[in-house]
A and B are shown apart, each in its own frame.
Chain A
Amino acid sequence: MSNPTIESRTSPAATAPAATTVMSMQQALNRALDEVLADNPKAVIFGEDCGRLGGVFRITDGLQAKHGEQRVFDTPLAESGILGMSVGLAMAGFHPIPEVQFDGFAYPAINQIVCQIARMNYRSRGTLPMPITLRVPSFGGIRAPEHHGESLEALFAHVPGLKVVSPSTPHEAYHLLKYAATRPDPVIFMEPKSRYWQKGEVDPATHDADGGSPTGAKVMREGRHLTLVAWGAMVARCLQVAELAAEDGIDIEVLDLRWLKPIDAAALAASVRKTRRAVVVHEAPLTSGLGAEVAQLITQSCFDTLRAPVERVTGFDVPYPSGDLEDEYIPNIDRILFGIQRVLEYKRG
């Protein structure tokens, strides 16, 4: 990711970093927001039900009580209003951290996100940066009603002027949100809602203990035979698949892309030049999905080393189905294994 010109407005977290603790992704996000509010007096959190209720997923739980109604507030039920208002707040020097309650309700705000937020920096020749972190509970897997489980990453990534990131674990959630919420550019922060209650270790002191970049992709498991590229909730599933494949002697590397825009092309290249094979896994529909982008980046950097075309295992070109058909839609372990098999068994014609 190109390094922003404006650095984080403030010093490190006001709350002293504690030792590694086990917490859920919901708790990790809540804590990150708490610290962002403490660190940056210009940070404000708002949206539908995120004040008193603490959000329908409790991500903003307790923040209004602690930081006051000026900093954390409920808005009327209008996504276009929430995002349009973010633009003005940003112009007034604030760092808005709006929430849309569910992914599907980002659609009513698309006009403000695409035509306004994404372009204001450009339109104003850099004089009106848009330090907006839009939190979007994202993706499926919870048998929710229509519009409560969507994969919008390709849509957002396609828009010039937006950055897109998605965490896969509580640790990633904590650090990526803290990072995103201190950037001077608009970041769409896609939280995998099916992982909200999963626990994991969070080390608040360091994001990438091996010195990796907070804007890069991250190898979640090393392997030699094939790279699975994923993000959000699919990372955990790919790690499961890798475990299963290991029983058959197939050594799979799992790369958590983390940033979906900009994509860490160097990390992709490094991984696939090592394994020489890749499968991209995402929940979003196949056609014009991010898998195509990832496959092209790999092809470009690894054409000479690739043993097989990059495969994609994805959702289908259908509206996100109702709960009963959800498991047919989201890439499951079998479908990912089939994808791996297609790559491993590929024969040059």
Chain B
Amino acid sequence: MDTLPLAVSGGDAGPLTPAELRELYTLMVAVRHLDTSAIAWQRQGIIPGYAPELGQEAAQVGSGYAVDTTRDFVFPTYREMGVARTMGVDMVGYMSTHKATWHGGLYNPLESRLAPIQAVVAGSVLHAVGWAHGQTLENSDGGTTGVALTYFGDGASSQGDVHEALNFAAVMKAPVVFFVQNNGWAISVPTERQVAGGSVAARAAGYGMPALQIDGDDVVAVVEATRRAFAHARAGNGPVLIEAMTYRRGPHSTSDDPGRYRSLDEERDGAGEDPLERLRKRLLADGIADEAFFAEALAAAKAEEEHIRNGIQALGSRPGTEMFDLVFQETTPALQAQAANWREESEHV
């Protein structure tokens, strides 16, 4: 594809070390296990809904791995559990949004560097541009710049906001990495019925923005591409778009029935090789890890899942007063009156 190349810039960390590769595997197993478990939780009635990411582990773990949580900021959608886990976000707080405890999740966005979970498709892509431009404003004297990493899907790329964001970022040379997970589907609509012109990456050229279309199921390729894009943006060269080609293997959400729009054969053909299996083979072939290591990673993932499940089961509901207390920083008399009424009528006093 004919896209603008990345500016050559320093800061590339070089090839991944064996320790890093093992860490990536551990993260991917944790994410895979938690993801599959969350679907089971929904079936068991522990949570009302969930947006699975089966098959997207490499895209999520790989891109999240490039984030420097001391200075970067990430803007997720509703499907970035793997990114959150990779960044070290409190996973009980993260899952609480799927538990229907609190919209956006109960983790602290400022501390974790992960914006609240976003249910509006493309809802936070422009926010990323704004945050990134803030970095430019603050670092006009040449300090080191934080980079905004924003996630969206092939479906979301149809939203006008995405086009506005790409244009803004390019015009303002904002340090943003637009990370598109092209998982082949927007609920029932396949990419070819969603994205004109064949790819999202191809559009970037129209905004004068470099773009990388990568194998999103190869975690090593994802880490390397994301690191390059970060280095480019951090050095003041403006935004980069990465389109990670991957496949959503399961349903869109726990209330979706993919059998209505694709056959199991189509699913098998589209999905290609399991990204987790791919990394495993690579580690074995390179002699970086052995069966004992894989078993240990799985055991750790299971223990972690149990801990998170216990955590969300123990969560309970938030007190109803928070419904009123958290609308504003400075509340209003009308809201206070409604809260008082509510307390009285719900016998919560």
Which residues of A are interface residues toward B (Cβ below 8 A)?
A: 48-49, 51-54, 56, 74, 76-78, 80-81, 104-105, 107-108, 143-148, 286-287, 316-319, 321-326, 328-329, 334-335, 338
Contacts and interface: CB of A to CB of B under 8 A. Distances in A.
Interface in B83-132: 97, 99-104, 119-121
Contact of A77 (B78, B121, B324): B121
Interface string B305-337: 000000000000110100110010000101100
Interface string B25-69: 000000000000000000000001100000000000000000000
B120 A108 contact: yes
Interface stretch (B4-12, B157-165, B210-218, B242-250): B157-165
B181 to A, nearest CB: 14
Contacts of A80: 159-160
A322 B345 contact: no
B2 to A, nearest CB: 24
Given A316-B342, A328-B346, A74 B189 contact: yes
B155 interface: yes
Given A77-B156, A322-B100, A322-B102, A317 B327 contact: yes
Given A76-B194, A145-B100, 15 more contacts: A49-B187, A56-B256, A74-B189, A74-B193, A77-B155, A77-B159, A77-B194, A78-B158, A318-B323, A318-B335, A322-B103, A323-B48, A325-B317, A325-B323, A334-B345
25 contacts: A48-B187, A53-B260, A74-B193, A76-B155, A76-B193, A76-B194, A77-B121, A77-B156, A78-B158, A78-B160, A80-B159, A104-B119, A104-B120, A105-B120, A105-B121, A316-B335, A317-B338, A318-B323, A318-B335, A319-B103, A322-B97, A322-B100, A324-B100, A328-B320, A328-B342
- 3 cross-chain pairs, A with B, having the tightest CB-CB distances, nearest first: A323-B100, A76-B158, A53-B188
Contact of B324 (A76, A108, A318, A323): A318
Contacts of B101: 322, 324
Chain A, interface SS category? loop
A77 B120 contact: no
A230 B95 CA distance: 36
B48 A325 contact: no
A274 B332 CA distance: 38
Nearest to A285: B338
Given A287-B334, A325-B323, A145 B188 contact: no
Contacts of A338: 345
Contacts of B119: 104, 145-148
Contacts of A148: 119
Contacts of B48: 143, 323
Contact of A316 (B97, B99, B338): B338
B159 A108 contact: yes
B186 interface: yes
A318 B324 CA distance: 6
Nearest to B194: A76
Contacts of A78: 158-160
A49 B188 contact: yes
Contacts of A286: 334, 338
Given A77-B159, A318-B335, A56 B120 contact: no
A328 B155 CA distance: 34
A321 B103 CA distance: 7
B120 A145 contact: no
A321 B160 contact: no
Given A52-B260, A145-B78, A77 B186 contact: yes
Contact of A81 (B104, B158, B335): B158
A325 to B, nearest CB: 5
Contacts of A287: 334
A49 B323 contact: no
Contacts of B78: 145
Nearest to A324: B317
Contacts of B261: 52-53
Contacts of B327: 317-319
A238 to B, nearest CB: 17
A335 B320 CA distance: 15
A317 B327 CA distance: 8
Nearest to A53: B188
Interface in B253-271: 255-256, 260-261
B335 A317 contact: yes
